[in-house]
């Protein structure tokens, strides 16, 4: 049974009441379900509980207003139901892994949650097949399980400028599957030739020369940039790779972007070989 139409009614109710106390029984009533059944179906359809969705949406709207207004952060948080600055700061850091004050100062890209939509829109990115020379990078190894959280810290704390000695440089996010530890190793940094600043805590990575599929993510906004990147990765993994004449080659995959450009589009390089 397709429950999405019913859950969409609950989402509409939640969106109208983000600044009010939200009664989950009222959400369930909007769907025509009992509260118990609503909680189960909502998670089945969306992958998160209603409480998780409400929290993510409130934090996303607060983050949007932090960048777009001169209001005090605490006043914005209070308007969305956080009863203390401490509770809000704790929730914001738990979600985005940086402090609200760091975000306000840097205004870096965050993975913000838009209202849930069950409409499927076409998505397609055509890559350029290129051969690249070897690249030496000076990088920090991620201490986060989720790469966007490490990007948040890297951008908000201006690690790129620290590495470069103040120059604006292209940043590289590099990933490789660690089969020994059964996890993804992830790194962020800049070209070694540009790393003339403080490189303490870094290591050197060599990306070997080879054949790559180069994808350019669709131009996005500050709000949906991270989501657009993730949608591009999903397209690469579930549509492009299974349907073309190439397969992944065992090497580093990487994405490049200049945060200070505010262009909100990045390049994704996938190492490939002919099937």
Predicted confidence (pLDDT) per residue in 65-92, tens digit? 998 888 899 999 999 999 899 999 999 9
The tokens of 192 are what? 């070694």
In whole angstroms, what is the distance from residue 234 CA to residue 110 CA?
18
Write down how long the chain is.
Answer: 275
To the nearest whole percent, how much of the chain has pLDDT over 70?
Answer: 99
3-state secondary structure 97-161: CCCHHHHHHHCCCCCCCCCCCCCCCCCCCCCEEEEECCEEEEEEECCCCCHHHHHHHHHHCCHHH
With bands split at pLDDT 50, 70 and 90, how would you rate the model's confidence at 264? confident
The model's pLDDT over 166-186, given as tens digits with 9 standing for 90+, comes to: 999 999 999 998 888 888 999
Q: What are phi and psi of 78, to 5 degrees?
A: -60, -40
| Nearest-angstrom CA–CA distance, 262 and 108 | 9
Closest CA relative to residue 63, chosen from 27, 99, 87: 99
Would the pLDDT of 207 be above 90?
yes
What is the per-residue pLDDT for 221? 81
**Domains of the chain by start residue, with CATH:** 4-106 (1.10.10.60), 128-274 (3.20.80.10)
Query: What is residue 167's predicted lDDT score, i.e. its pLDDT?
Result: 94
54/117: higher pLDDT: 54
């Amino acid at each position: 049974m397709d429950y999405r139409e019913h859950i969409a009614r609950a989402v509409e109710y939640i969106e109208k009441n983000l600044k009010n106390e939200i009664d989950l029984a009222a959400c369930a009533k909007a769907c025509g379900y009992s509260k118990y059944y609503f909680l189960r179906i909502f998670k089945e359809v969306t992958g998160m509980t209603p409480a998780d969705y409400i929290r993510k949406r409130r934090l996303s709207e607060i983050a949007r207003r932090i960048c777009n207004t001169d209001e005090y952060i605490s006043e914005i948080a209070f308007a969305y139901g956080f009863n203390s600055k401490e509770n809000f700061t704790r929730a914001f850091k738990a979600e985005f892994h940086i402090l609200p004050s760091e975000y306000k100062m840097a205004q870096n890209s965050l993975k913000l949650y838009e209202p849930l939509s069950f409409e499927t829109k076409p998505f397609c990115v055509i890559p350029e097949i290129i051969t690249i020379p070897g690249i030496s990078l000076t990088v920090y190894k991620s201490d986060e399980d989720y790469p966007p959280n490490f990007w948040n810290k890297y951008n908000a704390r201006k690690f790129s400028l620290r590495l470069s000695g103040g120059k604006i440089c292209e940043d590289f996010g590099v990933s490789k599957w660690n089969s020994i530890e059964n996890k993804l190793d992830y790194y962020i940094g800049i070209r070694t030739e540009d790393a003339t600043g403080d490189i303490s805590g870094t290591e050197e990575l060599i990306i070997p020369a080879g054949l790559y599929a180069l994808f350019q993510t669709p131009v996005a906004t500050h709000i949906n940039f991270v989501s657009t990147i993730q949608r591009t990765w999903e397209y690469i993994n579930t549509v492009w790779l299974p349907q073309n004449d190439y397969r992944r080659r065992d090497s580093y995959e990487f994405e490049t972007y200049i945060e200070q450009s505010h262009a909100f589009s990045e390049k994704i390089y996938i190492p490939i070989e002919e099937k």
